[in-house]
Structure formats: structure tokens, C-alpha cells
């Protein structure tokens, strides 16, 4: 009986040693499978264009609604001159154009917000070219606005601006935003 117990102890120790040896061997083995990644770029499907009032007369002598676009129309810079008292609305200063045959979902990220206390309201308003409201972005608050806004194939959206300012003197402030688009609306952008 003692000899069976001794052999059992030996078998248990041998099994443990064998398991440790196998785990060390498995941890030292690596298998490599190749993956090839190709990036193919072409024309941008969504881009900016000046709205019907880009370059138009603004408030203040000699001021214009300035809209500057990058070479590929993938970035825009807008300068407006709202009244220092009351609400000023700018209609159709920028267009978001989809030249593709498929629809895209769009949203915006406010990277840098307007912070001047004189600005009570600063909004980017997205509308269809017919004027129907698509959505409003608060330019006084940072963050991403991603809702089911769809830019149909071969269509455009219009961008309006609205400012409410109460200031006893001239001033300025700035904000930066990013247009985000995707062929699907499965999750919010990272």
C-alpha cells in the first residue's frame, strides 16, 4: 500500500513537471502570418463650397462675409462681422456637398468654442438647400454632435450662422469645428 502511495506521489510530481515543461514550451513558440495592407485614395466624396452669400456684403463699411476654402475644398475658414448688440443671422455662407452616388452621415466636433462673455449665442445651423432644419451646433460648447443627419447622394446642405452679442465695445473671438462624415451610422465617431 505504501509503495502505491509513493508511486502516486511520484506520478503527481511527474505530471506537474510535465505540465510546467509543456507550458514553457508553448510560451516560447510564436507563429507569424503575413497581412498586406493597401491604402487607395481618390477624389473626396464630400467637400465644402461657398454658399450663395459667401463674399457678400457684411455689417460695417467695406466688410464682406469671407469664406476661404483649401485647395481641395476639404477645409474652410469663415469670417463674419456680427453686430455688437442684438442677434445677427448669416444665411447660406457655406455648403457641404456630396458628389458621391451614396449617402453619408454627418456630424460636427467643436474643437475650440467661443468663450467671450459678450457672446450669448453662437450657433452653426445646418439646413437643406430648401431651408428645412437639419440640426444646430452650439459653438459655445466643445464636443461632438453626431446624430442621424444624412447627406443624400449628389446633394448639398446649407450652413447658416447665428450670433447674439451684447457688448459695449468692439471685440472678437473665434471657434474651430470639424466636419465628420461616414458611410454608416452604426456608432459615434471616436
Report yes or no: 182 and 148 within 8 Å, Cβ to Cβ.
no
- The domains located in the chain, with CATH, are 46-182 (2.60.120)
* β partners of residue 94: 50, 159
Q: How far is CA 151 from CA 51, 69, 105, in A?
A: 16, 20, 6
Q: CA torsion 77→82→88→92, rounded to 10°?
A: -30
| Residue-wise pLDDT tens digits, 120-151 | 999 999 999 999 999 999 999 999 887 779 99
- Per-residue confidence (pLDDT) for residue 22, from 0 to 100: 56
The model's pTM is 0.80
- Per-residue confidence (pLDDT) for residue 148, from 0 to 100: 73
Q: How many degrees, rounded to 5, is the angle at CA 53 between CA 120 and CA 181?
A: 75
d(CA 116, CA 89) in angstroms, rounded, equals 18
- Per-residue confidence (pLDDT) for residue 20, from 0 to 100: 61
- Per-residue confidence (pLDDT) for residue 14, from 0 to 100: 64
How much is the mean pLDDT over the chain?
Answer: 89
Amino acid at each position: 500500500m505504501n509503495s502505491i502511495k509513493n508511486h502516486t506521489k511520484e506520478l503527481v510530481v511527474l505530471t506537474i513537471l510535465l505540465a510546467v515543461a509543456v507550458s514553457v514550451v508553448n510560451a516560447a513558440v510564436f507563429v507569424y502570418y503575413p497581412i498586406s495592407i493597401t491604402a487607395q485614395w481618390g477624389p473626396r466624396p464630400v467637400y465644402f463650397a461657398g454658399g450663395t452669400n459667401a463674399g457678400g456684403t457684411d455689417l460695417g463699411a467695406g466688410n464682406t462675409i469671407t469664406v476661404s476654402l483649401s485647395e481641395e475644398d476639404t477645409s474652410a475658414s469663415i469670417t463674419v462681422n456680427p453686430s455688437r448688440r442684438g442677434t445677427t443671422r448669416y444665411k447660406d455662407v457655406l455648403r457641404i456637398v456630396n458628389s458621391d452616388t451614396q449617402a453619408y452621415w454627418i456630424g460636427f466636433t467643436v474643437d475650440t468654442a467661443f468663450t467671450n462673455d459678450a457672446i450669448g449665442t453662437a450657433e452653426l445651423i445646418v439646413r437643406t438647400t430648401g431651408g428645412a432644419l437639419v440640426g444646430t451646433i452650439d459653438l459655445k460648447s466643445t464636443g461632438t454632435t453626431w446624430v442621424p443627419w444624412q447627406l443624400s447622394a449628389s446633394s448639398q446642405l446649407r450652413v447658416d450662422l447665428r450670433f447674439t452679442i451684447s457688448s459695449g465695445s468692439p471685440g472678437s473671438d473665434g471657434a474651430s469645428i470639424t466636419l465628420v462624415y461616414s458611410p454608416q451610422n452604426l456608432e459615434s465617431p471616436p
